[in-house]
Copies of this chain bind each other. A is one copy, B any other.
Amino acid sequence: MEKKTRNLIFGLFWMLLASSNLCIDGLNIWPMPSSLKYGAKTLYLSKDFGLDTVGSKYVDASSTLKDAFQRLLDIVETAHAIDTNSTYYNPSLLLKGMRVVISSPNDEFGVDESYKLSIPSSGNPIYATLEAPTLYGALHGLQTFSQLCHFNFTTRIIEVRQAPWNIIDQPRFSYRGLLIDTSRHYQPLPIIKNVIDAMAYTKLNVLHWHIVDTQSFPLEIPSYPKLWNGAYSPSERYTMADAAEIVNYAKRQGINVLAELDVPGHALSWGIGYPSLWPSSDCPEPLDVSNEFTFKLIDGVLSDFSKVFNFKFVHLGGDEVDTSCWVMTPHVRKWLTKHGLNETEAYQYFVLRAQQIAISHGYEIINWEETFNNFGNKLSRKTVVHNWLGGGVAQQVVAAGLRCIVSNQDKWYLDHLDITWQQFYMNEPLTNITNLQQQKLVIGGEVCMWGETVDGSDIEQTIWPRAAAAAERMWTPYDKLAKDPRQVTGRLSHFRCLLNQRGVAAAPLTGRGRAAPEEPGSCYKQ
Contact = CB atoms under 8 A, between A and B. Distances in A.
Interface stretch (A41-49, A123-131, A499-507): A499-507
Interface in A185-204: 185-186, 188-191, 193-194
A39 B521 CA distance: 54
Interface string A12-27: 1001101101111000
B522 A15 contact: no
A150 B235 CA distance: 9
Nearest to A505: B457
A4 B320 contact: yes
A24 B235 CA distance: 9
A520 B451 contact: yes
B522 A233 contact: yes
A88 to B, nearest CB: 13
Given A233-B18, A502-B190, A517-B453, A507 B268 contact: no
Interface size classification for chain A: 35 or more
Nearest to A183: B520
A68 to B, nearest CB: 19
Interface stretch (A159-167, A224-232, A334-342): A224-232
Contact of A516 (B1, B189, B458): B458
A83 B242 CA distance: 10
Given A1-B317, A3-B320, A505 B215 contact: no
Contacts of A497: 235
A233 B190 contact: no
A451 to B, nearest CB: 7
A268 B317 contact: no
A457 B506 contact: yes
A319 interface: yes
Contacts of A452: 2, 5, 519-520
Contact of A185 (B188, B453, B505, B520): B520
B191 A21 contact: no
Contacts of A436: none
Contacts of A506: 456-457
21 contacts: A1-B368, A1-B388, A3-B320, A8-B214, A9-B282, A12-B281, A15-B230, A16-B272, A18-B233, A23-B233, A78-B189, A79-B189, A80-B239, A80-B241, A81-B239, A153-B234, A153-B237, A188-B502, A189-B501, A457-B505, A460-B505
Q: What 8 A-B pairs come out closest when comparing CB atoms?
A: A190-B503, A456-B500, A232-B522, A184-B520, A81-B241, A188-B501, A457-B507, A457-B461
